[in-house]
Amino acid sequence: MTANVTDRFAQAPGDPYRYGVYLRPDPATCAAVTAVTSQLRAQYGIVSAGAFPPHATLVGSRHITNPVEEIVAAVTRGLSEASAFTVHNAGVRRQGVGLVYDVHHLADGLTPNPDFVDLAARVDKAVAPLQTPAPNHAEHHFDRDTFRAHLSLVSHDMYVRPDLFEEVEEYVTGLPVPFPDSFPGDRATLYRTRSDDWTGRWWQTLTWEHVHTWRLTR
């Protein structure tokens, strides 16, 4: 007898939930991301980037079964010495199979923003002891050398529709959507996400819940 697809969720406590900690951009940048992803959904049915609230991932999709209060407390400790910093937006760039607002670099567009990388490292160190192996999802590991801060505009849909990429890129770069060239990196947010199938096209059933926001000060 074939097992129901949801049976796998009983293999470990906490399934089918995951947790992520994200840097929340300023309202104007959030509005720009939402405008682009909404246009892509309306025109092409592309939904993966827009399935999330606008964000730059610090740590993403972590399988944690601890009570949410313990997660909040751990991240609070991890951020206790973190400070706000300036995030620079270099505009639309290719990254992986998709398109992003590139927010990884300093104003020169070349040098990685050390404060951004340090913030991600602090959060990773805070949540790593709480993680448990996920039975139905690839693990996400933080690596300073490969970390790239970004705001997703087009992402996983391109794995299944690579034929659309050139057209979508032309469409995105032609949208009259203004965005600030910098904003304060002063909000970190914890979200709980859920999907019916983390091993497949998870973005088609993704839902999320805001859990907590931390405000960083200079």
Residue 7 lies in a domain: no
Residue 4 lies in a domain: no
Beta-strand ranges (E) seen in 67-179 are 85-88, 92-95, 98-102, 150-154
Round to whole Å and give the CA distance between 47 and 205: 10
Residue 9 lies in a domain: no
Residue 27 lies in a domain: yes
Round to whole Å and give the CA distance between 185 and 88: 9
Higher pLDDT: 134 or 33? It is 33
Residue with tokens 């602090």: 122
List own/partner pairs for 202-207 with CB under 8 A and 24 or more apart.
203/47, 203/48, 203/51, 203/155, 203/156, 203/157, 204/47, 206/51, 206/52
Residue 204 lies in a domain: yes
- Please tell me the predicted confidence (pLDDT) of residue 218: 81
pLDDT greater than 60 at residue 10: no
Residue 120 lies in a domain: yes
Domain interval for residue 91: 15-215
Mean pLDDT (the chain, rounded): 90
Round to whole Å and give the CA distance between 5 and 176: 42
- Please tell me the predicted confidence (pLDDT) of residue 11: 41
Assessment of whether the complete model's pTM goes beyond 0.75: yes
**pLDDT confidence bin for 172, thresholds 50/70/90:** very high
Q: Give the model confidence (pLDDT) of 114-152 as tens digits.
A: 999 999 999 999 999 999 887 655 566 788 989 999 999
What value does the mean pLDDT take over residues 36-46? 97
CATH number reported for the structural domain that contains residue 126 in this entry: 3.90.1140.10
Of 7-11, 102-106, 123-127, 203-207, which range is least confident? 7-11
- Please tell me the predicted confidence (pLDDT) of residue 133: 80
Of 20-24, 65-69, 179-183, which range is least confident? 65-69
Overall number of domains in the chain: 1
Helices (H), 112-176: 114-127, 157-160, 165-174
pLDDT greater than 50 at residue 63: yes
pLDDT greater than 50 at residue 154: yes
**pLDDT confidence bin for 74, thresholds 50/70/90:** very high
Residue 53 lies in a domain: yes
Half-sphere exposure of 183 (CA within 13 A, CB side): 25
**pLDDT confidence bin for 198, thresholds 50/70/90:** confident
Those residues with Cβ within 8 angstroms of residue 63's Cβ, 6 or more apart along the chain or in another chain: 12, 14, 15, 18, 131, 132, 133, 134, 137, 139
Residue 80 lies in a domain: yes
What value does the mean pLDDT take over residues 177-189? 97
